[in-house]
Amino acid sequence: MRAVIVAIGVAFLISLFCTPIAIKVFARLKAGQPIRSNLGLASNEGKKGTPTMGGVVFILATVIAYVAGHLALTTLPDAQIAQVEPTITALVLLGLMVFSGAVGFIDDFLKVRKRHSGGLNKRGKLAGQILVGAVFGAVAVYFPSSMTDVRGNATNTETVGSTTLSFIRDIPALEIGKIGAVIVIIMVVMAATNGVNLTDGLDGLATGASVMVLAAYALIAFWQYRHWCADPNYTESYCYTVRDPLEIALIAGAAAGACVGFLWWNTSPARIFMGDTGALGLGGLIAGMAMSTRTILLLPILGGLFVIITMSVVIQIISFRTTGKRVFRMSPLQHHFELAGWSEVNIVVRFWIIAGIGVAIALGLFYSEFLAAVS
């Protein structure tokens, strides 16, 4: 727990105090977010030129905090199990965050360079998401690694990802094989990155929702660590078969802390936007969390707000192409409520409540499954 707290604190402080520096740097480089002024959205007023690509700050803060958390791990008492060496799990999770963020960075860079809201084309962005998902999905599924605890005892050789679909645990009846698992991981990465990206339309909306989801994954992973099948001190049959749960909790906590620090400057009126750099980076990490904690089918509930907003876009497109009519005044859904007269702050707070409800339901299901397994 000490290492997780250290990582959260370091990430929060780095993000909180380095974001103003990033604001000045990006403003000097004229890396402002291009704004379409012909949409009739009140939230767009006064935002032209606001620095973008702020996701760079909390991605770097997460990576640095991970290192700090590992330094704290070396001071743990011998009576505790800890991953004192960097693991494949960390490689996959941080890799998904960094390289998904890199795809978003290219998109942001092109927007700034062209001074236009259209950056990387859809095919290019899709290809980048598929490539990132495929590479790290293959690493997650094909590369098990033996691991020792602080006492030098061999623990498990689980892979980061599973070859079965999972809800709260792996579901043995839903075996999909290694190739199928990689395909599923690619799909989850695409869904999560696009979900967070579509949600990032109002000041602080995607950042706050991501904090809730990442904090929930930190709790889930730490609970798995405390009831871990690889822990020789824990012999109950209802333990969790995962790899490196403390690593997962550490990274999830660090990312949540970094996002809280960033939210200080990103909340309305935002002084900086996360851009596609941050949105895709967070989406990639959230997808990795679902994969590594073996909770892939729980993710649509945990990230319920992202699902709702994504579905609003899908429904709008299908309706318009089949009937020529729009279901919403504008999609994604948050802009529908803007055009209905809701203030930006009201929309953000109410959507945060929806995100919190999804997180609460998911955590309730996770814990109730544990209680059922115990009984």
Instruction: Please enumerate, by residue number, every residue annotated as part of a binding site for Mg(2+).
Output: 197, 276
Phi/psi of residue 171, nearest 5 degrees: -105, 100
d(CA 375, CA 150): 32
| Torsion angle, alpha carbons of 13, 55, 359, 68, to 10 | -40
Count the Cβ atoms, other than its own, within 10 Å of residue 363: 18
d(CA 180, CA 244): 23
Helices within the chain (DSSP H only):
2-28, 55-73, 88-114, 122-142, 177-199, 205-226, 245-266, 275-292, 299-302, 304-323, 333-339, 344-374
Consecutive H or E run containing 165: strand 164-166
d(CA 185, CA 174): 15
Residues annotated within a binding site: 197, 276
d(CA 353, CA 348): 9
d(CA 178, CA 159): 11
End-to-end CA distance of the chain: 27
Measure CA 253 to chain center: 11
| CB proximity list for 373: less than 8 A, separation 6 or greater | 238
Length of the chain: 375
